[in-house]
Copies of this chain bind each other. A is one copy, B any other.
Amino acid sequence: MTAGPLRVGLAGLGTVGGGTYTVLTRNAQEIRRRAGRAIEIVAVADLDQEKAKALTQGRCPIFADAREMLAKTDLDVVVELIGGYGFAKDFVMAAIAQGRHVVTANKALLAVHGREIFPAAQAKGVSIGFEAAVAGGIPIIKSLREGLTANRIEWVAGIINGTTNFILSEMRDKGLPFDTVLKEAQRLGYAEADPTFDIEGVDAAHKITLMSAIAFGMPVKFDQAHIEGITRLQSIDIRYAEQLGYRIKLLGITKRQAHGVELRVHPTLIPAKRLIANVEGAMNAVLVKGDAVGHTLYYGKGAGAEPTASAVIADLVDLARALHAPIEDRVPALAFQPAQMQDMPVLPVAETQTGFYLRLRVKDQSGVLADITRALADGGISIDAFIQREPAEGEDETDVILLTHTCLEREMRLAIARIVQLSTVVGEPVTLRVETFA
């Protein structure tokens, strides 16, 4: 077999770019045995010329400007590992315009500008591979797009940000507050110097937005996602959750409802007996519910040089195996045929349905619990479990913690408005959402 190589232009030689170069080199033979042709990096682009030289050792041309690489090199596919929405977007759009396939790990770019990028690629007959954009090396995009095609997908829920999962695991294991653990995570390299995108849930929202599109066949609607991070989460709630048999994880969730889809990121209580509740440290996992297959879960490293490179290269092998196939014979980038995408409204968070965890500061007197449960019952909300702490010596206030069954968030807000009016309730309640994944 002497099929010509897949000619790759690699833009961005940071962690993932370097990993991609390394793995493609180390496993060249194994990859070729699978792909039926060599996957050859014929050019690289990075502002840091010295780094590029050290990596490539003179084996291919180096460009400072990725657009120049595109203009001057005969490429089948560009791998965009530059990141961000600015230059990366111009570069990806230019590659598409030139009829080059694109493989990218850039979840932010696709979640924010996907409604422009995917149709442009379709119009030019090129593919957009983004396995590396969600959950690193876990083949979750392929599983949703190709592995579960028999199913009407009901929901997808994932631990899809390793930084926050590491922080939450440490907070639980060591009983430390968020700020302390964040500093430790930064020291260990699990959190960036500016951790905003991770800890505020933005990165997870990018990823769940992409999964909502391929799960339901709808356009990306990142701008309508409800996003809460973990910065306000307190250790005491992790402990109370534990006592109730739950773990708290930052989840990205997208769920099909009768009149639209839920699209949200927030700290979530999950029963400790669920497999996904036991995903610790910087690991990722995605749980998918399909009507035929039931629950399936996908677990692995969600970041890092080689795990992410594994996903980038899987997309390249898909291209290499059918390099000259027409676009009609390729798996649609968003799982559904482009003409078959359907606009579905994203529900306001008030219309989403979850269970709730409530921590209330109350006066230590009789009838408190009865007042609270009545306020909930008046809104049609029933209680699943509760803890009432004994007040500390000499205190006249204590904590009441409640878990409710599923209700509309709107109903819960009304109930809380009634609860804070109660003379026995002190200060603002802490609320968290609960998912049981039954």
Q: Please give the residue numbers on chain A whose beta carbons come within 8 Å of chain B beta carbons, in ascending order.
A: 1, 19, 23-24, 26-27, 30-36, 131, 136-139, 142-143, 146-152, 217, 275, 278-279, 290-301, 306-307, 309-314, 317-318, 321-322, 324-325, 328-332, 335-337, 339-340, 342
Asked if B146 and A143 make an inter-chain contact with CB atoms under 8 angstroms apart, the answer reads no
Chain B CB count within 10 A is highest, among A24, A275, A311, for A275
Asked if B300 and A294 make an inter-chain contact with CB atoms under 8 angstroms apart, the answer reads yes
Cβ of A325 to closest chain B Cβ, rounded Å: 5
Chain B CB count within 10 A is highest, among A142, A151, A324, for A151
What B residues does A324 contact at CB under 8 A? 329
What B residues does A146 contact at CB under 8 A? 139, 142, 146, 314, 317-318
Asked if B27 and A291 make an inter-chain contact with CB atoms under 8 angstroms apart, the answer reads yes
What B residues does A318 contact at CB under 8 A? 146
Given contacts A137-B294, A275-B278, 16 further A-B contacts (CB under 8 A): A1-B339, A27-B151, A35-B337, A131-B147, A138-B293, A142-B147, A146-B318, A147-B314, A149-B314, A150-B314, A295-B300, A297-B297, A297-B298, A321-B331, A322-B325, A324-B329
Cβ of A244 to closest chain B Cβ, rounded Å: 19
Given known contacts A143-B139, A275-B279, A300-B295, A337 and B36 CB-to-CB distance under 8 angstroms = yes
Asked if A310 and B290 make an inter-chain contact with CB atoms under 8 angstroms apart, the answer reads yes
Asked if A336 and B34 make an inter-chain contact with CB atoms under 8 angstroms apart, the answer reads yes
A-B contact pairs, 17 of them (CB 8 A): A30-B151, A31-B150, A34-B337, A137-B296, A139-B296, A142-B142, A143-B143, A146-B317, A147-B314, A278-B278, A292-B306, A293-B310, A295-B300, A296-B299, A297-B298, A299-B299, A324-B329
In angstroms, Cα B148 to Cα A232, docked, is 38
Given known contacts A27-B152, A150-B317, A275-B278, A310 and B325 CB-to-CB distance under 8 angstroms = no
What B residues does A19 contact at CB under 8 A? 292
Given known contacts A34-B332, A275-B275, A340-B33, A150 and B295 CB-to-CB distance under 8 angstroms = no
In angstroms, Cα B34 to Cα A339, docked, is 10
What B residues does A217 contact at CB under 8 A? 33-34
Asked if A337 and B33 make an inter-chain contact with CB atoms under 8 angstroms apart, the answer reads yes
What B residues does A310 contact at CB under 8 A? 148, 150-151, 290, 292-293
What B residues does A291 contact at CB under 8 A? 26-27, 306
The residue from B138, B150, B311 contacting A27, defined by CB atoms under 8 A apart:
B150
In angstroms, Cα B292 to Cα A138, docked, is 11
What B residues does A294 contact at CB under 8 A? 137, 300-301, 306-307
Cβ of A96 to closest chain B Cβ, rounded Å: 21
In angstroms, Cα B119 to Cα A3, docked, is 21
Cβ of A291 to closest chain B Cβ, rounded Å: 7
Given known contacts A23-B150, A149-B31, A332-B34, A1 and B337 CB-to-CB distance under 8 angstroms = yes
Given known contacts A291-B27, A307-B292, A148 and B314 CB-to-CB distance under 8 angstroms = yes
In angstroms, Cα B142 to Cα A317, docked, is 13
Cβ of A182 to closest chain B Cβ, rounded Å: 25
What B residues does A313 contact at CB under 8 A? 149-150, 292
Cβ of A48 to closest chain B Cβ, rounded Å: 23
What B residues does A307 contact at CB under 8 A? 292-294
What B residues does A275 contact at CB under 8 A? 275, 278-279, 299
In angstroms, Cα B24 to Cα A150, docked, is 7
What B residues does A314 contact at CB under 8 A? 146-150
In angstroms, Cα B308 to Cα A296, docked, is 12
Cβ of A179 to closest chain B Cβ, rounded Å: 28
In angstroms, Cα B132 to Cα A92, docked, is 37
In angstroms, Cα B337 to Cα A301, docked, is 28
In angstroms, Cα B311 to Cα A147, docked, is 7
Cβ of A162 to closest chain B Cβ, rounded Å: 12
Cβ of A125 to closest chain B Cβ, rounded Å: 15
